Structure 1
Amino acid sequence: MRTTLLAASLAALLATPALTTGALAQDVTLRLAHFAAETHPGHIAAQQFADNVKERTDGAVEVELYPANELGSPPEQLEQTVLGAIDMNLPTQGALDKYEKAFGTVMTPFAFKDYEQAHAVLDGPFMEWVAPKLEEQGLVMLSNWEYGFRNITNSKHPIETPDDVAGLKLRTPPELQIVAAVEGLGASATQIAFPELPNALNQGVVDGQENPVGVIYHFNLDDFQDNLALTRHVYNSMVHVINKDSFERLTPEQQEIVREESGKAGALMRELVAAQEEDELAKLEERGMTITRPDLAPFREKVAGSDAMKRVTEYTGEENMAKFQSFLGN
């Protein structure tokens, strides 16, 4: 049934006038699909982007938003964007590395010490390096947005040391970097689709999971988890991409507006995530969660002493990893 619905959705999208090659640049509708909840900073930023593009183009370019996986799972959305059935998407590096392995280096365990370092690297040398590679896949990279550092929750006990992670059964997305990080800390990783996660946590299929604070808060994962540890083991962000053919339908002036407003939306999301994170942590505590802020040095050391880095390097490629490490000053 899922395959049939997706096929029907693709057929309907491809049949619409906005996606035909004859669509006029001065009258374009662009579809932007993403996975964030409507209350999440990602959607708020997307709404600002849509409003500003429409205003600055005098309504000639309109952006329709499809949040919360409305047009399919994150991998399906990205695939549809590559094919041109969806015009724009906000995938993470973990989705993009299926098309270009260089993106996978961003999610190297404990690569960044803070948000400032991550932003400087991603907006500077990293983007200069990967944007041309992505165009070869039919996507134009507009800007880096935000998602955040990932943290571990569980229903068993508070986490203060790496030993507290050992033995936990944690849900992770399928990205190898995240799997390698939690397994490097001694946990076992189980892949469960995100929409099925609340039920899996409720039924005790897994002991816990890992995600940025905003995801834990906005999706009410504290309903099923008592403990949150700010392990910050992997960083990743949303990346605003547009199908290359869709981008080339725009006039040069419209393209510049889209690029500028994408950057402004990404900056807004970064501000919102930073501003809301401490507030969300306080509210999670008020709702009954025990939150720990462990010393991360032992966590980094344990992962470094495991085979996690070897696994990630083999996945991304030694040349790509060496290039990425040079951006970090390593």
Structure 2
Amino acid sequence: MKKALLLLAATWGFAALAPAAHADPVVLSLVHAATTSHPAHLAALQFAKRVEERTHGQVRTEIFPASQLGSENELLQKVRLGAVDMDVTSMNYLIKYEKAFSVVVMPYLFDSYAHAHRVLDGPAMKWLAPLAEKQGFVILSNWEWGFRNITNNKRPINVPEDVRGLRVRVPPVAELEATMQALGAQVSKVGFKELPQALSQGLVDGQENPLNVIYYNKLYEVQKHLALTRHVYYNTLHLMSTRTWAKLTPAEQAIVREESKAAGDGMRRKIIAEEEELIAKMVAAGVKVTRPDAAPFRAATQGAREKIRRFAGDENVRTFLKMVDAERRQ
């Protein structure tokens, strides 16, 4: 009798920890802009697999890579409205909803990946996540994108003056435009899908992106020079619509958060570990690589930081820079 009672208690305990079953499985849509060979897509696959396993099939995920369902701005709005459930998107796209996010895109903020991760996973997440939730987004975890670098077909870049006059494509992000303009570039807003052709035809001289974007989208095939300027650290966020979040049980929410972080951590490790390998592959393909000293570039982009300060507001900038400086001392 005692054994039966213990077994029953154990069963009840397990049931309390397991997700409550839905009448029908919940099928979530997850969108992202990366190619299917990119670490972001591999992370999305891992997330989907583990969530389905841990919820015993009650929460499933359909993945739509390579911006299949629209541009990043369009997709984020769909997530906000609940028409799409999840998005893996660059933090900068939240700027249109909450200007505090613009401070993260300031040039030359972080000393290293570890420094950026300490800030964004720690105090910045506690500050920014509630602001995002007010706009309809639950930040599940930080994923990776990387430090941005400049490629071009005109000349090697070793000092800020080498950027002057280059026609450089940037995403439709005012903070990145300000950074390139501070270096003297002529900013172009060619769409990303049109970028390879624009580069090959000479409509623009160059572009700036993290190494993984340059490699996996084969931009290096139409560029002669790569400068490892590392001028802005770019974070990606795994977001869920607050409307979708409310449909999940507390146990399912916990699983989704845990597996989002696990997938994001794996993506981080892969992107960081493979950077030198990707550089070597691009060199083997004929790309000339330079590694400029960051100090003169940091000095040259002070004007961009001031523009961002005016947009974001002094209080937001002070709040974030305090976090950056505190974590730098760790």
TM-score (structure 2 length as normaliser): 0.91
Task: Provide the secondary structure at the position in 2 that maps to 1:223.
Answer: helix
Q: 1:85 aligns with which of 63, 79, 83?
A: 83
- Asked which structure has the greater CA Rg, the reply is 2
**Are 1:300 and 2:276 an aligned pair?**
no
- Tell me how far apart the structure 1 counterparts of residues 119 and 289 of structure 2 sit (CA, whole Å): 29
Q: 1:214 aligns with which of 212, 216, 219?
A: 212
Q: After TM superposition, give the deviation of residue 206 of structure 1 in Å.
A: 0.7
Count, aligned residues: 306
**Are 1:55 and 2:42 an aligned pair?**
no
Structure 2 gaps of 5+ residues are: 1-20
Match in the other structure for 1:12: none
- Whether the 8 Å contact between 1:26 and 1:61 is mirrored in structure 2 is no
Task: Provide the secondary structure at the position in 1 that maps to 2:33.
Answer: coil
Match in the other structure for 1:319: 315
The letter for the 2-side match of 1:294 is: P
- Tell me how far apart the structure 2 counterparts of residues 91 and 97 of structure 1 sit (CA, whole Å): 12
- Whether the 8 Å contact between 1:102 and 1:320 is mirrored in structure 2 is yes
- Whether the 8 Å contact between 2:22 and 2:58 is mirrored in structure 1 is no
- Tell me how far apart the structure 2 counterparts of residues 111 and 161 of structure 1 sit (CA, whole Å): 19
The letter for the 2-side match of 1:318 is: D
Distance 1:25 1:262, change over 3 A: farther
Task: Provide the secondary structure at the position in 2 that maps to 1:42.
Answer: helix
Q: 1:41 aligns with which of 20, 27, 39?
A: 39
Q: After TM superposition, give the deviation of residue 26 of structure 1 in Å.
A: 5.9
- Tell me how far apart the structure 1 counterparts of residues 180 and 213 of structure 2 sit (CA, whole Å): 18
- Tell me how far apart the structure 2 counterparts of residues 211 and 244 of structure 1 sit (CA, whole Å): 30
Match in the other structure for 1:310: 306
Where do 1:102-181 residues align within 5 Å?
102-181=100-179
The letter for the 1-side match of 2:228 is: L
Q: After TM superposition, give the deviation of residue 24 of structure 1 in Å.
A: 3.8
Where do 1:250-269 residues align within 5 Å?
250-269=248-267
Where do 1:61-80 residues align within 5 Å?
61-80=59-78
Task: Name the % identity.
Answer: 49
CA-atom RMSD in angstroms: 1.2
- Whether the 8 Å contact between 1:53 and 1:257 is mirrored in structure 2 is yes
- Tell me how far apart the structure 1 counterparts of residues 179 and 324 of structure 2 sit (CA, whole Å): 19
Where do 1:187-226 residues align within 5 Å?
187-226=185-224
Task: Provide the secondary structure at the position in 2 that maps to 1:209.
Answer: strand
The letter for the 2-side match of 1:95 is: Y
Match in the other structure for 1:99: 97
- Tell me how far apart the structure 2 counterparts of residues 309 and 275 of structure 1 sit (CA, whole Å): 30
Q: After TM superposition, give the deviation of residue 314 of structure 1 in Å.
A: 1.6
The letter for the 2-side match of 1:230 is: L
Q: After TM superposition, give the deviation of residue 275 of structure 1 in Å.
A: 1.3
The letter for the 2-side match of 1:150 is: R
The letter for the 2-side match of 1:178 is: L
Structure 1 gaps of 5+ residues are: 1-22
- Whether the 8 Å contact between 1:26 and 1:250 is mirrored in structure 2 is no
TM-score (structure 1 length as normaliser): 0.91
- Tell me how far apart the structure 1 counterparts of residues 24 and 259 of structure 2 sit (CA, whole Å): 18
Deviates more, 1:186-195 or 1:120-129: 186-195
Match in the other structure for 2:17: none
Task: Provide the secondary structure at the position in 2 that maps to 1:109.
Answer: coil
Q: 1:281 aligns with which of 279, 282, 300?
A: 279
- Tell me how far apart the structure 1 counterparts of residues 180 and 282 of structure 2 sit (CA, whole Å): 23
- Whether the 8 Å contact between 1:25 and 1:251 is mirrored in structure 2 is no
